[in-house]
Amino acid sequence: MADVTCARCRKIVSESYTYFDEDGQICMDCNESVEVSQAFVKGYRSLAGSALGFALLSACFNPFMIISIVAIGTSISAIRYPARIDEEDRASLKGMHAEGVMSVAGLIIALAIAGLGVLGRLGQFALM
């Protein structure tokens, strides 16, 4: 079995323990770290997406402000996501500015909708 040099870490490994990706032939360890970072990218993307999704949903459908609460909670965890993971893993989120913007936008929209909802309730009481 031929030995090959990993395209990433330059470690020499047996060819049967290598994988192919856009960098070329990489070793098992590098392949695993790629998979892990892809999982973080996916996690952040879907969390930011849900944050904005729930915020927009709360604008149209918001029984007992449950969707607002979910939207605020999801936005906060999306905003904190990069800070919560290890520094090493955070590197894989580099350049994901859209997700950061979506998370913050989600929180702002969710708070605005919740605020309007509370004001609406107060308004109803005032008129009674």
Q: Cα–Cα distance between 46 and 56 in angstroms, integer?
A: 15
90 is a contact residue toward Zn ion (CB under 5 A):
no
> C-alpha distances in angstroms, 115 versus 27, 30, 48, 107?
52, 47, 21, 12
Considering the complex, what minimum distance in angstroms separates the CB of residue 14 from Zn ion? 12
Binding segment toward Zn ion, per CB under 5 A, in 3-11, 16-24, 101-109, 120-128: 3-11
Size of the site for Zn ion (CB under 5 A): 5
Q: Cα–Cα distance between 79 and 74 in angstroms, integer?
A: 9
- State which of positions 16-75 bind Zn ion (CB under 5 A): 27, 30
9 is a contact residue toward Zn ion (CB under 5 A):
yes
Please, are residues 62 and 70 in contact by the beta-carbon 8 Å criterion? no
* Look-up of token digits 């870490």: 9
Considering the complex, what minimum distance in angstroms separates the CB of residue 44 from Zn ion? 24
Considering the complex, what minimum distance in angstroms separates the CB of residue 10 from Zn ion? 7
Query: Site residues (CB under 5 A) for Zn ion?
Result: 6, 8-9, 27, 30
